[in-house]
Amino acid sequence: MRGLRDIVPAVTSERKVQESTSGVLDLLTRVTRVLFVNGETTEQTVGWGVRAAEALGFRATVIPRWGELSYRVEGPQGPVHDVEAAAPVAVNMNRVIGTVRAVDRFLSGQATLDETRSALAAAAVLPGVSLGRFALATVVAACCLAAIFGAERPSTYPLIAVSAAIGAVVRRGLGKVSPNQLLQPFAAALVAGLIGGLAQRLELSSSLALVAVCPCMILVPGPHFLNGLLDVVRARIALGASRLGFAAAVTAAISAGLLIGLWLVGATLPPFAPSRPVPLWIDALAAGLVVAGYASFFSIPWRFLPLPMLVGACAHAVRWYALSEGATAFAGAFLACLLVGAVISPLADRMRVPYAGLAFAAVVSLIPGVFVFRMASGVVELARLGENAAQPLVLAVVADASTALTLLVAMGIGLILPKLCAEAFRPSDHVQPA
């Protein structure tokens, strides 16, 4: 019996250690999964999870891949492994903010482990913005983009508003019945194509085809593009390529929906669409409102909107002045994004908001969506004409493709360069690199 009494405490102690290791693994998965699938950068996602585990005296490793997260927790009784399905296809800043806040309180000693688990569980199910705010944000953003692009006809704005509102309702409705991430942008773009095509046939739209294009511009998956670019720069090639591939697939779905909608009513996108210059105050004010609308898609709480709106307006003012002084569109986009990156990078860290979503919301009006959609339309026309395609059409397609790619690269470099410099010279004190 003596030997048995000696063994029982040892077994009990070992079981406690194992339960503790499992608890750390549970905490790690709760933190990283919510961040990963809702738009946080990979670096921050891994860093917050590792810090939470280290606060409990354990060593943790998180390996993110497209579609899954792999975990390893090392404790006194050896390592524990786990793999969990997780695809980074959503952007819900409200959930990210709630999760980061819960971990931050735990690391600072303001919350116990049980309180932190409860807070994480609540953050993981925080809803997005209401349908009313979502639809209103879509309408405001699309109409303001039309103002930036120089819409002149009064009939343009109500048509864009109707198209954007219907598209928002369709997106939310499809999101409840289908998990397919490509169906929602395709359906919304299809609505925009149908309404824009009808407006073109009835001569209610300008030659810019803004009724069709502007509701589609707000569907572009900017945060996924930016997060993918950040992963590639940090040598997470597979994950970065997957993110960029997903962004490209969503863009392709938007283009397909737009072109099919136009085709169904016998309309097309114009091959050339020079925009009308607008005054500085209209450009900056509209850009700020676009930020508010686009940020609402990501479920940013109202209190976080004023700063990115101001930054977005200032970025557009910088671009406006650069273009007025003879700078190229690429240089203007780069300078605007450089300003956004320099300001948003410390703000996002301080406010505990995902950098990709906040930064891209501030520059969404610079996205070369018009060139992408025109390129897609030109490619379809080239396929139809075959060898009979005229040289100007071929050159137009190549020009649109190269312009869109160059603008995206210029924007991406401008957005990530300040962030990388800040992390290199003034590393965050609450996140350790993976």
pLDDT in tens, 388-418: 888 888 888 898 899 989 999 999 899 889 8
Confidence of residue 9 (pLDDT cuts 50, 70, 90): very low
- pLDDT in the model for residue 23: 83
- Cβ neighbour number for residue 139 with a 10 Å cutoff: 23
Say yes or no to pLDDT of 273 above 80: no
| 160, 146 Cβ separation under 8 angstroms | yes
Backbone angles phi, psi at 61, to 5 degrees: -130, 130
Q: Is 60 helix (H, G, I), strand (E, B) or coil?
A: strand
DSSP state string for 168-208 = HHHHHHHHHH---TTHHHHHHHHHHHHHHHHHHHTT-S-TT
pLDDT in tens, 291-301: 888 888 888 88
pTM for this one? 0.87
- Cβ neighbour number for residue 168 with a 10 Å cutoff: 25
Q: How many angstroms separate the CA atoms of 136 and 289, rounded?
A: 11
Q: Which helix (H) or strand (E) holds 416?
A: helix 391-425
The alpha carbon of 426 is separated from its chain's Cα centroid by a whole number of angstroms, namely 25
Q: How many angstroms separate the CA atoms of 315 and 317, rounded?
A: 5
First-to-last C-alpha distance (Å) of the chain? 50
Query: Which residue spans within 289-362 are E strands per DSSP?
Result: none
Highest mean pLDDT among 58-72, 211-225, 366-380: 58-72
Percentage of the chain beyond pLDDT 90 is: 41
Confidence of residue 3 (pLDDT cuts 50, 70, 90): very low
Highest mean pLDDT among 243-257, 335-349, 372-386: 243-257
- pLDDT in the model for residue 321: 92
- pLDDT in the model for residue 276: 63
Closest CA to 164 of 197, 133, 196, 142: 142
- pLDDT in the model for residue 2: 36
Order of strands across the sheet that contains 78-86: 59-65, 67-75, 78-86
Range in 152-156, 228-232, 406-410 the model is least confident about? 152-156
pLDDT in tens, 87-127: 999 888 899 999 999 999 999 889 888 899 999 999 999 98
Range in 27-31, 185-189, 337-341, 355-359 the model is least confident about? 355-359
Mean pLDDT of 365-390: 85
| Residue written as token pair 């209401």 | 130
Average pLDDT in the chain? 85
Range in 1-15, 75-89, 317-331 the model is least confident about? 1-15
